[in-house]
Amino acid sequence: MAPDLRTSAAALVVTIACALVVTVRALRAPEPQAKRSATAAERLEIAASIASSEKEWMDEARQHFPEDHWSQRDDFHALELRRIVEMVEQKGVRVEDALQAIDDDIHRKGARDPAASDERYARAVPCKPRPFYD
């Protein structure tokens, strides 16, 4: 059956009104309150806290996923996430500042080539999802 394309003015008004209300409300939704930027000292503290725990996290991840490098690294990052969230919430600072601080710290030495030593687990471990998760 072919659709009846006769329009009702009232129906059109309702549709447009709905679309407008949704659009306007979405656009006028309040901006989230931005957290403050971390101070230089806080950045150093966050970076140091992460750096000091990395070895322990990697050992833990190796125990969770023996012989599975990608899963180990993924688990390592899950543990890192927990610490980052804990610290940024405790200090009330932006998560991006923590990420930047960690990255700056990791980049501080500045490796020159792929074969350089990798104490900070900065070398990529190619993505190899487990064949099932549950």
Partner 1 sequence: MGRFAERTAVRIALFALIATALVWAMLPWAAYTNEFRDAQVMNLYERAAVDTVRRFGELPLWNPWYCGGLYGLGAPQSRFASPTFLLSLLFGMERAEPLVVFLFAILGMEGTYRWVRLRVNDATAALRVAPLFALSGYFSVAHFRGWTNFFGFELVPFVLYGITMAARGRTSGIAVASIAFAVMLGFGGTFAAPLVAVAAVFEAIRAILEQPPRRRLRAVVMLAALASFMAAVAAVRLLPLAETLVASPRIMAGTPGHAPKKIFEFLVRTLEARDGNVTDAGMFFVGGGFLALVAFGGAERRSISALIGVVFFLWLAAGYSRKPSLFAILRELPVFSALRYPERFLWLAILYGCEPAANALAKLPRLGDGRRWRVVTSTILTSVIVVTIGVQIAIFADVGSSRELGVVAVDEAREFRQARGNRWLAAHHQGIGLGSLSCWETYPVIMSPKLRGDLAAEEYLLDPDAGTAERVSWSPNRIVVRVSLKRPTRLLVNQNWHPGWRSSVGVVVDDDRLLAVDLPEGEHEVTLFFRPTSAVAGGAVTLVALGSLLLLAIAARRGRVPFRRAVALRTGALVVAPWITLGAFVATWSEPRYPPPQQRNANGTPALVSSAPMDARPAGFRLDFPIVVEAVKIRPPDALKNVTFDLYLRRTGPIPRLTGMFVHVRRRPGQGPLPPAEPDKPEPREFFNADHQVVGGSFFLSDAPEGQLVHDAFGVHVGSAAPGEYDVWLGFGHVSGRKWRARVEDSGGAPVENELVRIGSFVVP
Give, as ranges, the residues between 1 and 20 that touch partner 1 (CB under 8 A).
1, 3-8, 10-12, 14-15, 18-19
Query: Is the Cβ of residue 27 or residue 41 nearer to partner 1 in the bound state?
Result: 27
Distance from first CA to last CA of the chain, Å, rounded?
46
- Contacts of 118 by beta carbon, 8 Å cutoff, 6+ apart: 111
Count, residues near partner 1 per rule CB under 8 A: 73
Query: Is the Cβ of residue 35 or residue 45 nearer to partner 1 in the bound state?
Result: 35
Shortest approach of partner 1 to residue 41 CB, angstroms?
20
Block residue for tokens 């003015």? 9
- Is 112 strand, coil or helix? coil
- Contacts of 80 by beta carbon, 8 Å cutoff, 6+ apart: 50, 53, 54, 57
Shortest approach of partner 1 to residue 105 CB, angstroms?
10
Give, as ranges, the residues between 25 and 54 that touch partner 1 (CB under 8 A).
25-27, 29-32, 34
| Out of 40, 52, 90, 134, the residue judged to bind partner 1 by CB under 8 A | 134
Query: Is the Cβ of residue 48 or residue 125 nearer to partner 1 in the bound state?
Result: 125
| Out of 41, 52, 66, 90, the residue judged to bind partner 1 by CB under 8 A | 66
- Is 40 strand, coil or helix? helix
| Out of 55, 81, 86, 92, the residue judged to bind partner 1 by CB under 8 A | 81
**Is 83 near partner 1 (CB under 8 A)?**
no
CA-closest candidate to residue 45, choices 101, 116, 121: 101
> How far is Cα 127 from Cα 77, in angstroms, rounded to an integer?
13
